[in-house]
Structures are given as C-alpha cells and as structure tokens.
Amino acid sequence: MLRHIKTLFINFILIVLLASCKNEGSIQTYIVEHQELPNFTVIDLSPKMIAINDAEFTKEQKDAYHSLEKINFLGYRIADNNLEAYHKELDNVEKIFKNEKYDELMEFKTDGIKFTVNTEGTGEVVDEVLILASIEEKGFGVARVLGDNMKPEHMVKLINDLQKADAGKNQLKGLVDFFK
C-alpha cells in the first residue's frame, strides 16, 4: 500500500512539474516554433551590440539601458499569395498577447502601424516587454525584450530619447528594413 502511495505521489509531482514547465501560449514558444518557417524572419540582439554612448544619459536612462539583456524579434512578411495566412498568424499572436499572464501597457496606432505593448512581471518592475507592430500591407513583427528589473516608465523615456537621437540606427538597419 505504501508503495502505491509513493508511486501516486511521484506521478502527481511529475505531472505538476511538466504542467508548470510547459510554456504554452507564450511569445517565446511562438518565436521558437515559427523561426524556421517561410515568410518569418528572426533577429536576436543584445543591447550591448548596439553602439550607444551612454555618457550623456541621465541616471534613469542608464538604469533602463543597463537593465536590458536581450531582444528577440520575429517578423512575418506578407507575400502576394499569403494574406489569409498573415491574418491567421496575426490572430494567433494577438491571442497570445491577451494571455492573462501579460499586462497590457498601451495600444496605439501611428503612421499606419498598430502597436500593442505588454509586460510580464510584478508591480513597477518587469522582466519582459512584448511589442507587437503590424502593418496591413507589409506584415507584423513581435519584439520580446528581456531584462532584469526593467521599469516601463524608464524604458518609454529611453526609447523616446533614442528615437530623437537616431542612436544605433545602423545597427538596427535589418530590423527597420523588415517593414520597408
């Protein structure tokens, strides 16, 4: 009898561990599953690869920049014959973005590009920022920004300041060219 209880207990522990390790419905899983498929492009970046002189950054900007660890980008480009596939894939990504483990930070549209920004983390500090950008005529892209103790308000300020300064423009050319 004790042997059956031990077996049941071990099976229960294994089921719990397997269920908790399964990362179903995550952007990470989506990127891994789609990175080799046609019409998809993957770019992995380390912020340290982008030549930015942070000497003139404010403390908030430095904290934001140094909290970044890795950026994963997966893009889907529309071809002549795959508009239906594009809508299917975009719907799949939008469903993932609605997953309850992600908090929506903002959603906006500018210059024909629809953006959705979500975070994963606790309180004022996040470990993951997800950005979905889609253009009906071109395709969509998902950026997964990983970091340690990232503060969304600092990240927004850093992004705005970098846009004004065109910092890292040459290093990010592949990412920018994806939507051209």
pLDDT of residue 97: 94
Cβ contacts of 29 within 8 Å, gap of 6 or more: 23
CA distance linking residue 2 with residue 69, whole number of Å = 48
- pLDDT confidence of 167, banded at 50, 70, 90? very low
Cα–Cα nearest to 143, from 161, 125, 155 = 155
pLDDT of residue 36: 93
- pLDDT confidence of 6, banded at 50, 70, 90? very low
pLDDT digit string, tens, across residues 99-148: 988 888 888 888 889 999 888 877 678 888 899 999 988 999 999 989 88
pLDDT digit string, tens, across residues 12-55: 444 444 444 444 589 999 999 999 998 899 998 887 776 676 77
